[in-house]
Structure 1
Amino acid sequence: MSTGEFRSWEFQGAGVPRYEEPGVGGLAVAAVAASELAQRRSGVAIRELSRETEFRAACALLDRVWRPPAGSPLITMALLRSFQHAGSYVAGAYEADRLIGVCVGFLAQAGLHSHIAGVDARARGRNIGFALKVHQRAWSLEHAITKVTWTYDPLVSRNAYFNLAKLGAVVQEYLPDFYGVMDDGVNKGQGSDRLLVGWDLADPAVAEGCRQPHHHQAALPPEAATGLDADADGLPVLGPLDALRLTVRIPSDIEALRVERPGAAQAWRSALRETLGSLLAEGATVTGFTRDGRYLVERKAEG
């Protein structure tokens, strides 16, 4: 199986052109090369899925990752088939003939909305998630799409760092309880607040980060006030939110906290909604995320 197989397909979907924006073609060629490099580095081959057996394997993998209740699959084979046939993005990462990663996105007004991605637990730590996103960028540029959006739980520190510091995505909006009550093994009982991020695929910094992985280091402004921090017991402590620059801390491992201290995890959900959610609703901007787990936020100066 060639790592470049995703570059051709039999059905492109209605209204999904290739190389129609000026300059996108050149970006796409470089993006494909970056994707092939990322696949080699992580030891996988990524390609679009097109057969029923592949869709069913993808559904099973996502269910293993999120652990939904029996009889309530996270996503169905029929939906993946529909996405793929309509020209959306449905891709899998393979190690030999074993599917170990899945990424699914659908066409949207902004370009492509990346709905879900998951990697088999036995294959984590190999940058397969990164390789899937780099492949998704190449696929999008080949289809003249220059922006990808997705949501993530703002309390999950590793995802915040991956999305903002490694991929260079930009926070657009705080979405309280976006998916309503969720009953899968990852999200059950904790609410579904999400951050919506946008990924500018034509940004030179994004292109360089996909070619040669690096981190957008967020410098902590010395004058930044503390909008949210943790006390000695690991519980959230709210601070004033009237400074121009603020830091908003989240737990280092909210997933472990949900299991060990669910009450504390819920307190963090409420505190983050009150601080980061309120700041973004007022027009503030997230300017970065630090290695030690703090969002950097800048409010608009009054004037």
Structure 2
Amino acid sequence: MTMTSPNNVQRKTVQPLGGVSPSRMRQAISQAEQAALLACVTIETVTGHAELEQVFGLFEKVWQPESGNPPVHRDMMKALAHSGNYVAGAFRGGDLIGGSVAFFEEPQHRSLHSHITGILPNVQNGHIGLALKLFQRAWALERGILHVRWTFDPLVARNAYFNVSKLGAFPIQYLPRFYAPMNDSLNGGADSDRLLIDWEIGSSKVSDVVAGSGEVPTPESLGASELLSISEAGLPVLKSTKNRFVTVATPNDVYTLRKSDPAAANDWRLAVRETLGGVLAENGVVLAVTRTGKYVLDRAPGTQAGRTTAEVTS
């Protein structure tokens, strides 16, 4: 699928391999088209050397990595694109302003791992990220892929909110020190804890969330208690509660905090690892993320009114 213009979308349709209905496929394509219109971008898969060089340069501008350690090398992107994997760019007025790279993963290429997505800092918060992800979703569904997975830094509040509450994807595993320390402008050499997230792209739930019609639970509606809160000084505060529904806060701006107070940023890393990571390790689930980056968690999924499913049905 190639979106050649936000006002005149043309597509090279790939016959779906199964798994989603034609109506769901049309809906996914329509949602991707509308997102591109909203962001005023053209989104295309990228295969040529010149365009791949632009994507490489964009990632360099966004992450500003240490010398010799780019987020993804141009030669690797060429190999991925040539072998049918996913490299895409978002263009506005002929200029590349966003890019994304993904590759197939097991089992049997029924899922896609989205390795990296970046947008130039001066155009962020303009719906470009949504357009890139919905284009990726439609591209994957056309190829019979039902799940897209990726990792993200759990301390970045805006990404957590976007991934969970705007896209309808949910964290499935907390991964401490997933990468080696990353010495770039965003990570600052800190521990690279990540959340692995799963996006069930063919589900009605995801379609509803993307359309803005899905119900998103709130801490207030669940009567959730704080497991990790934020102090007036912006520091993490661990709390004890037996409540089934809990919240885990994140710092207001971890990127700035890493530069101004690395010790405080590390305190946040350890606190979120202990609380969010601990709940997920004990089979808890993330239900939502608030706009301020507060995770809303269910520590006992599968229970009703305080009783387990087995007790209810026995």
What SS does the corresponding residue of 2:96 show, helix, strand or coil? strand
What SS does the corresponding residue of 1:240 show, helix, strand or coil? coil
Check conservation: 2:16, 2:143, Cα contact below 8 A. Answer: yes
Which amino acid is 2:225 matched to?
A
Q: Equivalent residues in 2 for 1:67-106 (5 A)?
A: 67-106=64-103
Corresponding residue number in structure 1 for 2:39: 42
Does 2:56 align with 1:59?
yes
The alpha-carbon deviation at position 299 of structure 1 amounts to 1.4
CA displacement 1:32-88 (0-9 Å, x = unmatched) = 222122111111110100101111110100010000013332211110011111211
What SS does the corresponding residue of 1:7 show, helix, strand or coil? coil
163-172 vs 117-126, which moves further? 117-126
The alpha-carbon deviation at position 22 of structure 1 amounts to 4.8
The alpha-carbon deviation at position 214 of structure 1 amounts to 6.4
Identity %: 37
Corresponding residue number in structure 2 for 1:14: none
Query: Cα 1:285–1:105, aligned 2, differ >3 Å: closer, same or farther?
Result: same
CA distance in 2, matches of 1:18, 1:196: 29
Corresponding residue number in structure 2 for 1:227: 227
Does 2:117 align with 1:114?
no
Q: Equivalent residues in 2 for 1:224-263 (5 A)?
A: 224-240=224-240, 242-263=242-263
CA distance in 1, matches of 2:153, 2:213: 23
What SS does the corresponding residue of 2:179 show, helix, strand or coil? coil
Check conservation: 1:27, 1:141, Cα contact below 8 A. Answer: no
TM norm structure 1: 0.90
CA distance in 1, matches of 2:224, 2:123: 39
Runs of 4+ residues over 6 Å off in structure 1: none
CA distance in 2, matches of 1:273, 1:33: 38
Check conservation: 2:248, 2:275, Cα contact below 8 A. Answer: yes
Check conservation: 1:169, 1:198, Cα contact below 8 A. Answer: yes
Segments of structure 1 that go 5 or more residues without pairing to the other structure are: 10-16
**Over the residues paired in the alignment, what is the CA RMSD in angstroms?**
2.1
Which amino acid is 1:285 matched to?
V
Corresponding residue number in structure 1 for 2:296: 296
For this pair of structures, how many residues does the alignment match? 295
CA distance in 2, matches of 1:197, 1:234: 27
CA distance in 2, matches of 1:64, 1:22: 38
CA distance in 1, matches of 2:258, 2:178: 19
Does 2:6 align with 1:7?
no
CA distance in 2, matches of 1:165, 1:214: 11
Query: Cα 1:115–1:191, aligned 2, differ >3 Å: closer, same or farther?
Result: same
TM norm structure 2: 0.87
CA distance in 2, matches of 1:201, 1:283: 22
Query: Cα 1:189–1:207, aligned 2, differ >3 Å: closer, same or farther?
Result: same
124-133 vs 199-208, which moves further? 199-208
60-69 vs 185-194, which moves further? 185-194
What SS does the corresponding residue of 1:218 show, helix, strand or coil? coil
Check conservation: 1:180, 1:191, Cα contact below 8 A. Answer: yes
Segments of structure 2 that go 5 or more residues without pairing to the other structure are: 309-314
Which amino acid is 2:79 matched to?
S
Q: Equivalent residues in 2 for 1:59-208 (5 A)?
A: 59-109=56-106, 111-208=111-208
